[in-house]
Chains A and B, each alone.
Chain A
Amino acid sequence: MLSINKSQFNLLEKLCNAMSVSGDEGEVRRIVLEEVKPYADEVKVDALGSVLVRKNSTAKKPLRVLLDAHMDEVGFMIVHDDKDGFYEFKTVGGIDPRHLVGKQVIVGKDHLAGVIGAKPIHLTTSEERQRSVGVDSMRIDLGPEGKAKVGDRATFAAKFKHIGPSIMSKAIDNRIGVAILIELLKNAPKNIELCLSFSVQEEIGLRGAKVAAHYFEPDLAIAIDATPARDLPDYNGEENISYNTKLGFGPAIYVANSSTIDDPRLVRFLEETAIDENIQYQFRQPGGGGTDAGAIQKSRAGIPVVSVSVPHRYTHSPISVSRVDDWKNTLNLINAAMKKMTRELVDR
């Protein structure tokens, strides 16, 4: 079993604290490139900005397996300079405006400290307090010295934390997938041709993965991502029947979501691998949502896909919470699965 060592924590911290809002993934890309180069047989940055990595096999005609994790995160884009340090902004990717009021953010390449201002309770009416505030009437306040440009990205300011069994960050979705992919490359087995896509622009429509899959033309693919856990109790005392996933129950294997019906053979294979290797796992509740697998499966003449995610609470909010054990078990499930893969898995 692979463990999560100090250097992996350090790497995840660095990845999580970087700013990599969809379409401007340079900071994370630089970290990834530095990490993968010593271990890869081929590294390239494609036209959209995804990092594509290949690790050759020693087998003749090996099974070509694509592992994908997206580098981008949700955030904001500055759209207007109101002067005096106030900036109008739009959200990038799925963000609930109710999460924003009063939050700290970082803006632009220099990570300028800003705050999304909130009207103090002293000055609001009770009627105002019942309503949620729209993004159009929010501003990022950088102070009169802070200079941002229209088009600059911004994201939540929360720094990575490791507290006991938990990790917290603004960008567990999906730096945890990125960190797992890097570690898998370092332990790459020889029986398969391993292709990795550190993809751009997942949060705004699975765009980077679409072209990466076209480039690699793999025999099968696994998207590794982070998925919401809403595993808190239902406060009316009834059984919580829509939790999506639960923290501490292991990697969440997908069966179906809005973008994909995961290949039943791959779902079964991962489940069997988890049982054989004694790795805790759970099924993500079928339902909405999507991962890069949705784009990959439709590439060219079709690719069998499955998704596996690390569960985390408070997705796409200023700070999410995940468990180190789920991280470790996800890493080990995919690592064990890769070693056992043969062409029979996807033969028809």
Chain B
Amino acid sequence: MKQLLKTLTDTFSPSGYEDEIRKVILKEVKPLADEVRVDALGNLIARKKPAKGTKDAKKIMIAAHMDEIGVMVTHVDGNGFVRFTNIGGVYPRNLPGGHVRFANGVSGVIGLEPTTSATDVPPLNKMFIDVGADSKKNCPVKTGDVGSFERTFIDLGDKLVAKSMDDRIGCLVAIEALRALKSTPHDVYFVFTTQEEVGTRGAETSAYGIDPDLGFSIDVTGWGDTPGQKDFDVALGKGPAIKIRDGGMLADPRVVQWMVRTAEKAKVPYQREVLLGGTTDARAMQLVRGGVPVGCISIPCRYVHTPSEMVDYNDVKNAVKLIGVMLSNPVNLQLIVTL
């Protein structure tokens, strides 16, 4: 599982350019799913059909996004320095000195224009990528080229660190849950979505296509357990977080209860997540067509949207277990009385 996670996080795939990661995931899910297809926006959909003889199977959509944040070239100047803009939530303070790799394999480092003080962080338009060129002519990248941040995968035992843990860790959980799912009473659609980081776009259109009865996303969330972090009751190693709300979505209380009861019954540790900012694919799924009851299972992740995102391996394994039990047993939201 760790080896697969390394492969997933090493793979280059900023939003809109998910071809490489889709190939990696397709190879994994093809032998496991009953049906696999890729839709118009590039979402990879792996379907596990209900066991023979099941009546009234519910369509359940599970979304984990394949894309990662990155950069895009806006201009190459006369001296071969590459100006760039962000793809998704790229924060200037995380960039200086970082490595970037472009789709064509070219690497570069992020440099800054001089600032008035050594501690100032300039905006992106005062930064550039130095790919070792000295003129526009010999610069190996051009306007519109896409890059991702580079950082080595580190295995610290329980803690694992990589770039794009957001949301390759969700992809890993989805793949492993599918692998573990021998039989289900549901019609399950694991969707590896595109363009989440730029506005949950792939989830919106794939949910329209699937028209699910209920669903949830698997994504990273923030953390409250490092020095100075306050007011967020989610820590690494205490289990997957069951989302109650985030900045873009109120999880359906019945879906929350479904997750909570399953976790308690199966003795899987979990945390309750109340996130003030940010959102996930579940927001887009919730608002599709006539509306869908949704929730989200989060993997707590430190240093989100830096090149060194950290998760706890136990949370990952427990998320796989929780989702496995949820999908192996019947669910009837009508019978779930919320508090």
Contacts and interface: CB of A to CB of B under 8 A. Distances in A.
Contacts of A219: 40
Contacts of B201: 297-298, 302
Contacts of B75: 241-242, 285
A114 interface: no
Given A301-B206, A302-B205, A302-B209, A239 B77 contact: yes
A294 B37 CA distance: 24
Given A261-B198, A348-B39, A301 B74 contact: no
B85 A302 contact: no
Contacts of A298: 201, 204-205
Contacts of B89: none
Contacts of B204: 298, 302
A285 B83 CA distance: 10
Contacts of A256: 16, 72, 87, 144
A262 B205 CA distance: 15
Chain A contact-residue range equals: 20 to 34
Interface string A254-278: 0110000111100100000000000
Contacts of A301: 39-40, 205-206, 208-209
A263 B15 CA distance: 11
A304 B75 CA distance: 25
A298 B43 CA distance: 13
Contacts of A300: 205, 208-209
A43 to B, nearest CB: 27
Interface string A229-259: 0000000000101100000000000011000
A264 B16 contact: yes
Is chain B's interface secondary structure helix, strand, loop, or mixed overall? Answer: mixed
Interface in B175-228: 195, 198, 201-202, 204-206, 208-209
A256 B201 CA distance: 14
Given A267-B144, A286-B73, A287-B85, A261 B42 contact: no
A286 B39 contact: no
A295 B74 CA distance: 23
A324 B43 CA distance: 40
A346 interface: yes
B131 to A, nearest CB: 16
Interface string B75-104: 101100001010100000000000000000
Contacts of A12: none
A261 B40 contact: no
A283 interface: yes
B16 A303 contact: no
Given A283-B143, A297-B201, A298-B201, A239 B43 contact: no
A348 B206 contact: no
Contact of B74 (A262, A263, A286): A286
Nearest to B42: A348
A261 B206 contact: no
Interface string A291-322: 00000011111111000000000000000000
A239 B78 contact: yes
Nearest to A261: B16
B125 A261 contact: no
Contacts of B41: 297, 302-304
A267 B38 CA distance: 20
A264 to B, nearest CB: 6
Contacts of B87: 256, 261
Given A267-B144, A298-B205, A301-B205, A348 B38 contact: yes
A287 B71 CA distance: 11
Contacts of B303: none
Contacts of B143: 255, 283, 285-286
Contact of B144 (A283, A302, A303): A283
A302 B16 contact: no
B258 interface: no
A76 to B, nearest CB: 30
Given A256-B16, A303-B41, 11 more contacts: A241-B74, A242-B83, A255-B72, A261-B17, A262-B16, A263-B16, A298-B201, A300-B208, A301-B40, A301-B208, A348-B38
Interface of A: 219, 239, 241-242, 255-256, 261-264, 267, 283, 285-287, 297-304, 346, 348
